[in-house]
A = this chain, B = another copy of it.
Amino acid sequence: VSITELEPCDVLFLGLPHGQMMNRIDEFEALADSLIDLSADFRIHDAQAFEKWYGKPHACPGRLEDFVYGIPELHRDKMKGAKHISGAGCNATATILALHPLYLAGVVESAVVEVKAGSSQGGNAVNEGSHHPERSGAVRSYKPTGHRHLGEIRQELNADNIHLSATSIEMVRGILATCHVFLNTALDEKEIWKIYRSAYGNEPFIRIVKERSGIHRYPEPKLLAGSNYCDIGFERDPHSNRLVVISAIDNLMKGAAGQAVQAFNIAQGFDETTGLEFPGLHPA
């Protein structure tokens, strides 16, 4: 769509390829009162950090602070009436929601996150790696180090002691983040429950999933396809100070468009869950 074809409006959802939005922000601001940007251009608030993770300077560093980072569970108050919202990265969303309560509680010594991701994360563009005979059944280390989403994660958790790798697996939609957290204090499962309940007890799109038996003891992305939920579970390692926190989302919903709609609802004063009621399918 050429921008000249767009009518002025209240809110624009923008899904440009990464790197274009920062060069065209003025054009879009002229068209709409509010922008919800799904690209990566305005997720990082600090210009130096942007350059570190994206490998080039930002085109309009003075505007970085204008955008609210798009995870409602962390920034709901700032979102109300906000004119600029930047949609969070999908792997970042799964990781941040898994770990934010623990960082807030100050109990983390360090964390290692292993993200398992589906093929829709690569977008619509066809490439050699998305060719079905190659991609089908793959367990492919696509970003063992240097994943750009780590920049947002460190910013939002306000921490450097966190590491991330991402592996593509046989799945279209979905992310499972397995977060190995090394605790700086002895916590039993009850205390961890309390931390999560206190952080997320009233959240409409976060569920703590933890069963003693059965096959769905922990979060599973396949139960969430099409839904805006982030499911979170955890298990204490009896043999060390490790806590494993597991979170699942649909990368195209809570990891992208769904969370953007949630942010839009908050910004514009609608009921936060409007349009996001689909609970997922089972079996699927």
Q: Quick check: A139 and B176 within 8 Å, CB to CB?
A: yes
The reply to whether the CB of A265 lies closer than 8 angstroms to some CB of chain B is: no
With A120-B283, A163-B240 as contacts: A130 and B139 at CB distance below 8 Å = no
Bound Cα distance A69, B116 (Å) = 32
- Encode contact with B along A193-219: 1 for CB under 8 Å, 0 otherwise: 000000000000000000000110111
With A127-B126, A226-B281 as contacts: A116 and B139 at CB distance below 8 Å = yes
Residue from A136, A220, A235 whose CB has the most chain B CB atoms within 10 Å: A136
Residues on B with C-beta less than 8 A from A281 are 173, 225-226
The reply to whether the CB of A133 lies closer than 8 angstroms to some CB of chain B is: yes
Chain copies in the assembled complex: 4
The reply to whether the CB of A273 lies closer than 8 angstroms to some CB of chain B is: no
Residue from A114, A137, A246 whose CB has the most chain B CB atoms within 10 Å: A137
A contacts, CB < 8 Å to B: 52, 112, 114, 116, 118-120, 122, 124, 126-141, 144-146, 150, 163, 165, 167, 169-174, 176, 178, 180, 214-215, 217-222, 225-226, 233, 235-240, 242, 244, 246, 248, 278, 281, 283-284
